[in-house]
Amino acid sequence: MTKIPTVGFISLGCPKALVDSERILTQLRTEGYDISATYKDADLVIVNTCGFIDAAVAESLDSIGEALAENGKVIVTGCLGAREDEIRARHPQVLKVTGAHALEEVISSVHEHLPQRHDPFTSLVPPQGIKLTPEHYAYLKISEGCNHRCTFCIIPSMRGDLVSRPIDDVMREAERLANAGVKELLVVSQDTSAYGLDLKYQNRDWKGRLVNTRFYDLAEALGDLGIWVRMHYVYPYPHVDDVIPLMADGKILPYLDIPFQHANSRILKLMKRPAASQNNLERIKAWRATCPDITLRSTFIVGFPGETEQEFEQLLDFMSEAQLDRVGCFAYSPVKGAVANDLPDLVPEEIKQERLSLFMAHQAEISAARLQKRVGRIETVLIDEVVEEGAVARSKSDAPEIDGQVFIDGATHLKVGDFVDVELEEADDYDLWGRLI
C-alpha cells in the first residue's frame, strides 16, 4: 500500500497565527495529506513563525533549527517570514519561506516538495475544518493586517494593511463551528473594531437579510448563534460604545479586550496610540453603567523609551482608578524594524524590570479585590478540563490561556464543554473556586 504523504506542523505565536495554521492544516487534510505529531513520522515539517518581539523571533529560529535537525525538510511561514534573509542566514537549508496568511504559497510548496500520491477524496475533513483548539472553543479570525502604525509594532510590515472578510463569509464559518459543537467563539484580528472599514462596510446577504460588514453588525449576528462570543483586540474607537448594550442584553459575552498600552498622553503620542487616560476613564465608567457585569481586559507596556518615573506613576494611578479586571503587561523590548527603536532616552533594563514587577504587584491587588467581590455569586462556567481532583472551568470573565480559571473540587463526573452553574466560594489574585449548584 502506498504511504500517504505526511506533514508535521509547528504553530507558534498568537491566536491569529493559530487560525492561519488551522487553515493550512484543513487544506492539507482536504487534499488527503496526513498530519503527524512527530518529526520521525513526517515527510516534511511546516513551521508557522512569530516575529513580533525578540523572544518570539529566537523561539521561531530555534524551532526551525530543531525541525531541520530532526526531519530535514522544512517550509517556513508566518510573520517572521517577512524577514526571509534573516531566516536563510541562520538556516539556509529551508525549502521555502513565505510571509503571514500565505495559504496558497504554503500549499503550493507542499505540492512541490511532497507531491500528493493518492485520491484526496479518501480523506475526510470535518465541516469545521482542522482545529488546534479543544473541540468546545475556537478562534474566529475576521480580518488580516492593520492600518495603524504604532511605533512599537511591526505587524503592518509583516501582515499588511487591514483586509476584512465579508460578513457572510465570517458568519458561515461561525455557523459551521457552532453546528459542530463549539460552545465559545473568540473573535480575533489585529484590529477587531476596524472590521469592514476597508470594504466600506458593504452589506451582504445573511439568512435572507442584508447585514453590514461592520463591528456592531457582526457582534449582533454572532449573538444569534446561541453560544458564547468573546471579543478580542478591540481598538478603542468611539463606536465600540455601541456594542456594550449587546453585552448587557446577553447577546455576546460582557467581556472587552481593549489594549490601552499606557495612560500618559505624551507616551501614548510617542506610541502613536489614540485617546487620553481621562477619556478612557470616562468611557470605562459609561461602559460599566450600561453593563455592570462587564469584564475589562487590557495590556500595557512599561519602560517605553522616554518613560519617566512620574509618567510610570501616572500609569499606576490610572490602574487604581480604572479597576480593570484582567491585565497583561510587558517591559518594552526593541523589535527589529520598529520606529520606536530610534526614540531617545532608552530606559535601562533594570528599571524596566523593576517597573514591570511594581505594575504586576499593583494590578494583582486590584484583581484580588475584584474577584473577592464575586465570592458568593452564582455564575455559569464552561468546563475546560476534568482532572483527578475535579473540574477546571472558565467564567464569562475568562478567556482561555490568558485569564483566570474556576476550580470545582470533586466534580469529576463533568465533561469538557459542559456549561454548569457554580456558587463561587473562594478567590485568590487571579482564580476562583466554586461548588456545583
Residue 120 predicted with pLDDT over 50: no
224-275 per-position pLDDT tens digit? 999 999 999 998 888 999 999 999 999 999 999 999 999 999 999 999 987 6
Count of Cβ atoms closer than 10 Å to residue 40 Cβ: 8
**Interhelix angle 167-179/215-223, nearest 10 degrees:** 20
d(CA 423, CA 395): 12
For 143-173, how does the pLDDT look when each residue is reduced to its tens digit (9 = 90+)?
A: 999 998 999 988 888 888 999 999 999 999 9
Which residue type does 375 have?
A: V
The pTM of the full predicted model, rounded to 2 decimals, is 0.76
Cα distances from 142 to residues 191, 263, 307, 354, 426, in angstroms, run 9, 28, 34, 37, 37
- Residue 37: C-alpha distances to residues 8, 25, 43, 128 (Å): 6, 12, 12, 20
Burial 60-81 (b: 16+ CB within 10 A, else e): bbebbbebbeebebbbbbbbbb
Q: Which three cell numbers stand for residue 277?
A: 487616560
Cell of 343: 526614540
| Residue of 252, 234, 430 lying closest to 326 (CA atoms) | 430
Judge whether residue 276 has pLDDT over 70: no
Render pLDDT for 1-48 as a digit per residue (tens, 0 to 9): 567 899 999 999 988 899 999 999 999 998 889 999 999 999 999 999
Query: HSE of 383 in the Cβ direction (CA atoms, 13 Å)?
Result: 20
Q: Number of H helices and number of E strands within the chain?
A: 12, 20
For 321, the enclosing helix (H) or strand (E) is: helix 309-322
Beta bridge partners of 407: 392, 433
